[in-house]
Structures are given as structure tokens and as C-alpha cells.
Amino acid sequence: MNLPGSSVIRAQPWGDWLSFRSLVLIAPVLMLTLKHWIDSVAFLTSIAAMVWLARNSGHRSTTTNELQGWRRWVAWALAGPILAVGLAQCFRGEFFLGNFDPPFRLLLCAPIFLAVSAGWLHRRDASPITAKWMAVVLPLTLVWTCCHRVIWPNVSWGPDRLTTSFVDPLTFGSLCLMFALLSLAGLWVVKGRSRLAQAFVLVSVASGLFLSVTSGSRTGWLSLPFFALLALYLGTRHAMSARLLITIGLACVLTIGVAMSVNPGPFDRLALGFAEVTNYNWHGMNPDGSLQMRISFWRMGAFYFMHRPLEGWGDLGWQTLVNSPELMVYASQYTREFASHGFHSEIMTSTVRSGVWGLISSISLFIVPLVCSLKLRELKHSPTMQTILWFMWIFLGHQFLAGLSTEVTALIFQASFFGLCVAVGMGEAMYCFQSRVA
């Protein structure tokens, strides 16, 4: 588990800190403020995982056949996107290396998952990495990112959108919101923290909501009603005091109120978005509203898919049909051409690019970990398992809902982060099931 020279490192008092476990632990902290950070972490950790797997390949495995099957399914799900791109390009008779970049990052996380599920990065005297993420690392990430953005603001995306130079506002706002939700869930599922630590989490949640609102993005906010009900369920099930529930609610309302006074744009856009959805014309031309365009993108994507279900279209091949009469009925020229920037949907973008192979692989990235985690919960109940699974459910739920209106693995850093979370979360859950960690 340690870096090269481990025999020397273990003899030092700081030896436990200089390890790949520590590297993975701190991975989220700088991902929104330091370019290429999360990509480098995933790459180095993947190389180390492959070395660990090679060195331990001769050890007798105690894994059950059922668990081995689940491991294969999750590993194939992480490898699916790169297979989808390759198959579609084979059917089209073309080769474009750029399409393999994000899927390759997901593939790199497959050996991480296999190693973690076999016990790599596990320490008997320490909490799972996912628990540490929820309890400490993600709250620290939000506070650090908020301070960084306020002290060193970036106006690359406009003066009214608080984000970084290399993360677009849609992704930035969605990730900050997800980190806030995971940090808030940590108050319920991670026990034994002091009042000061709980107060720090509330500050971090407020920071995450502030960052999400001031990014000017509505992406991911669809998950708020769902997770509000989830928080109420967790609060009542875990007998959380009424005082703490009220404090959390007031803190969230106060934070949103402050953020709204700083940047009321996203709330105006939420109201506008509701009007756009309810007034969408399914039988005629639609204006170029943000959500109306996204609905049209889904319809356009389905049209393109039906014409080339096996080959897909690559990045821009579908433009040969952009002026089809079937599309001109409901999508303006601006909407039809704007799709060249992406179909603003994880599943639809992959489907148009890689056909049925992209459809299967993009759905599998969410469905396979979800099904496996539900199976694990049926077979084992323990505080450790529950903490890991809550992390996975919140992560997958938010990423799926955000993926309905934007891509969540289209960029290299997005794919690295998504793959690392699935690899560590599902790996720890399977090792917990296998080793009967309480």
C-alpha cells in the first residue's frame, strides 16, 4: 500500500500518512481548484493498483462465486465506455483517438476497484475512505473551494458566475451541490463527532450551497427535493434531535437567502425553467429556451439514434441530418446547430456518439453499481456497510439526475472523479461484505 521504499517508510512515525490511501483520501480537496489534480491521482493510483494486483495474483482468494460475479460486472461497467467507443468506430470504419480520452480514465479506475475490493487501501484501525470523505474531506473541500473562489475570483465565465477557469459553471455548481449533500448525509451516518466538528460540517454545507447558487447553474438542483425527503427519512430513523434538524433547516434557508441576494439569477432561471417545461410544444416549433432546447435535444438524439443504431455518429457526423423535416417541426436552426456543443445529457450524448453500445455503457455506469449495492445491503447489515452504501446511493443518484441535463463523464477530470468514486465506494463495500467488517 505504501509508496516505493515501503520498508523504510514503515519505520518512520509518518509512514502511515505517506501512502496511496492518503493520496486517495485527499483526492477531492483540490479537484476544483487545481487543474489535472484528480486526473493525476487516478492515474498514479491505477498504476499502483495494477502493481499490487500483480504481486498478489498468486494468493488464494476467499471470494465467493457470487461476489466474483459482482466484481466482474462493476469492472466491465467501468470498461464499457471505451469498448462502446471502439465498437462504434469499428462499425463506422473510422478512428479518432480523442474520443477515447474520458473513457480511458474510467478504464483506469477498474484496477483500482479490483484492488480495493480485495483489501488494498484497507486499514483495520481506520474508517473506510468513503466515510472519511463524507465526514472530513468533502466538508474541507467545500470550505477550501469557497475561500479560494472568494479570494481569487475567476471571470472567465462572466462576472456573475463563480467558478474556476477549467470547470464550467454547470459542472462546478453540480459538484458543489453534491459535496454539500454528501457532507450533510455524513451528519447522520458517521457517528461519534464532536459539536465543533458538526458545526464545521454545517459551515461546509452552507459553503457548498453558496458556491452552487453563485455559479449560476441549475444543473443538479433536480435532486434537491429527492434528497430533502431522504434527509427527513434519515433524521427520523436515526432519532436526530429536533433542535439539530431545525438548525440544519434554518442554516440551509439562510445560506440560500444570502446566495440569492448575491446572485438571484439561478432562482429566476428556476422559475423560468418551470415555465419552459410546462409550455413545451410537442407538435410545433419551440423557442430557444434552456430547458426547451434540452427536451428538443433528447428528441433529436432519438431521431439520430434510429438512423444509425449500431455505428453511431461520432462527434459531428449527425450534422448530415440536421436539416431533416422531422426536426425542423419543433427545433429551430439555432437549437439544431447548438447540439454541436453536446446534447447536454450523459446518456443521449453517448448514444448519439456510439449508438446502442454507448446507450448500454452509459446506463450501465449507473445501474450496475446501484444493483450490486442493493444486493450487498440485502445480504449484510452493518454500520460500516451502511455508511459506504449511503455514499454510493447519494453519489449515483445525484450524478444520474445531473446527467439528465448535462454530461457527467464527458471531460477527463469528470471521468477520473466518477470512476474513482465508483471504484473506491464499490470496492470498499465488497471488501466489507467479504471480510465481515462490523
| Tens-digit pLDDT string for the chain (438 aa) | 444 434 444 444 444 556 899 999 999 999 999 999 999 999 999 999 999 999 987 665 556 777 888 999 999 999 999 999 999 999 999 888 888 999 999 999 999 999 999 989 988 778 899 999 999 999 999 999 998 887 777 656 666 667 777 888 888 988 999 999 899 888 888 777 788 888 899 899 889 888 888 887 766 666 666 666 666 666 666 555 566 666 666 666 666 666 556 556 556 666 666 777 778 889 899 888 888 898 999 999 999 999 999 999 998 899 999 999 999 999 999 999 988 888 889 999 999 999 999 999 999 999 999 999 999 988 877 888 989 999 999 999 999 988 888 889 988 999 999 999 999 999 999 998 887 644
What is the distance between the alpha carbons of residues 411 and 160, in angstroms, rounded to a whole number?
24
Angle at 209 between CA 206 and CA 213, to 5 degrees: 140
Instruction: Note the pLDDT of residue 9.
Output: 43
Entry pTM: 0.88
Q: Which ranges constitute the DSSP H helices of 282-345?
A: 290-307, 325-328, 333-338
Domain assignment of residue 328, yes or no? no
Instruction: Note the pLDDT of residue 10.
Output: 46
Domain assignment of residue 158, yes or no? yes
* Total tally of structural domains belonging to the chain: 1
Domain assignment of residue 414, yes or no? yes
Instruction: Note the pLDDT of residue 26.
Output: 95
Residue keyed to cell 467501468: 78
The grid coordinates of residue 301 equal: 438524439
Instruction: Note the pLDDT of residue 96.
Output: 87
Per the rule left: phi > 0, alpha: psi between -120 and 50, beta: everything else, 36 is left
CB 114 within 8 A of CB 71: yes
- Crossing angle of the two packed helices 37-55 and 101-117, in degrees rounded to 10: 50
Domain assignment of residue 302, yes or no? no
Domain assignment of residue 252, yes or no? yes
Instruction: Note the pLDDT of residue 342.
Output: 82
For residue 225, what are the domain limits?
6-52+65-269+344-435
CB 428 within 8 A of CB 388: yes
Instruction: Note the pLDDT of residue 105.
Output: 96
Domain assignment of residue 292, yes or no? no
Q: What amino acid occupies position 371?
A: V
Domain assignment of residue 280, yes or no? no
Domain assignment of residue 389, yes or no? yes
What is the distance between the alpha carbons of residues 182 and 402, in angstroms, rounded to a whole number?
15
Residue keyed to cell 514503515: 10
